[in-house]
């Protein structure tokens, strides 16, 4: 299965015994919206809700850090997701948050996963039906497993400053990258990591919320001065929109592009990490 699928593809496959649809919509506080409530009001038939605010490491003070493999497997089982499932993730968020869930599933051993290109809007535009309420699911076995080869932590990012082994690709807005725009989290400095390239995740999408085609994605990476086929590590505010960079690079043929899970919430909140402002 490809990393992204169309709404028409999902319409044709929906209802098959191994297809599982997951709504991974995430809103930030300033969006003023409730993802779970919107899911219960209207979602793709048979979909379950993946709470990106809850499937996290609650022992960390940082937002959206990866949970333990045991917690992830437990939550996946409770959503009716199991070994052998073909999982289609979508969202209805300006963050395009489905890619974060897609990346998490890969980290935790589910590789037959795709993002619905264009999300809920594309589904509705294709004439897809909707249902409301809380889904009834049957628990399925999801093997506890993790591959952290595509995950970077603070120590790895510090090492990378010295080695330059991986291109650092920052998915935040240009204003946050340069430090002109204030960071939304208290105590977090503005700016970016030394040597990082600015590739706002918004530049990866068309106006309708679908991913740009191969030529468009290649142009977005080129404009940022990034070669997606060379080692990269994506970062953002808290590891959500960075996953869009990882997915886009994957669509261009990248092998296991990495994501800095702590992202700027961690780096910008440290007292001893170097920060650069300006372009």
Residues forming the active site: 236
DSSP bridge partners of 167: 232
Q: Which tokens belong to 234?
A: 């994506």
- Residue 62: alpha-carbon gap to chain centroid: 16
Partners of 150 in the beta sheet?
Answer: none
Contacts for 45 with CB less than 8 Å, ≥ 6 apart: 14, 21, 129, 130, 131
CA–CA dist 126, 13 (Å, integer): 14
Report residue 66 as tokens.
């990866």
Instruction: Assign 3-class secondary structure to 145-182.
Output: CCCHHHEECHHHHHHHHHHCCCEEEECCCHHHHHCCCC
Q: Do the Cβ atoms of 85 and 225 come closer than 8 Å?
A: no
The first and second tokens of residue 167, run together, are 């291109």
Instruction: Tell me which residue of 245, 275, 54 sits closest to 152, measured CA to CA.
Output: 245
Q: In the sheet where 197-198 sits, what is the strand order?
A: 151-152, 258-260, 232-235, 167-170, 197-198
Q: How far apart are CA 211 and CA 114, in angstroms?
A: 13
CB neighbour list of residue 81: distance below 8 Å, 6 or more residues apart: 20, 22, 48, 87, 110, 140, 142
Report which of 264, 247, 11 is spatially closest to residue 126, judged by C-alpha positions.
11
Determine the 3-state secondary structure of 253 from DSSP: coil
């Amino acid at each position: 299965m490809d990393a992204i699928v169309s709404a028409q593809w999902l319409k044709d496959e929906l209802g098959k015994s191994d297809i599982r649809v997951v709504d991974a919509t995430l809103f930030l506080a300033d969006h003023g919206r409730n993802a779970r409530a919107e899911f219960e009001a209207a979602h793709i038939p048979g979909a379950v809700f993946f709470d990106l605010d809850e499937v996290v490491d609650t022992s960390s003070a940082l937002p959206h850090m990866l949970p333990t493999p045991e917690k992830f497997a437990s939550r996946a089982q409770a959503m009716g997701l199991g070994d052998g499932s073909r999982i289609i993730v979508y969202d209805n968020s300006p963050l395009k948050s489905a890619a974060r869930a897609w990346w998490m599933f890969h980290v935790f051993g589910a590789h037959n996963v795709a993002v619905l290109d264009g999300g809920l809007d594309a589904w509705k535009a294709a004439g897809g039906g909707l249902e409301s309420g809380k889904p009834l699911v049957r628990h399925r076995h999801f093997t506890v497993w993790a591959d952290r080869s595509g995950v970077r932590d603070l120590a790895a990012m510090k090492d990378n400053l010295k080695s330059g082994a991986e291109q650092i690709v920052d998915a935040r807005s240009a204003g946050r990258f340069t430090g002109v725009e204030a960071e939304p989290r208290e105590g977090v400095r503005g700016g970016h990591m030394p040597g990082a390239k600015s590739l706002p995740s918004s530049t990866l999408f068309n106006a309708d919320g679908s991913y740009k085609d191969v030529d468009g994605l290649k142009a977005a990476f080129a404009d940022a001065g990034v070669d997606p086929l060379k080692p990269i590590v994506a970062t953002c505010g808290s590891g959500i929109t960075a996953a869009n960079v990882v997915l886009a690079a994957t669509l261009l043929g990248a092998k296991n592009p990495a994501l800095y899970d702590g992202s700027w919430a961690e780096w910008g909140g440290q007292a001893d990490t170097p920060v650069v402002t300006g372009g």
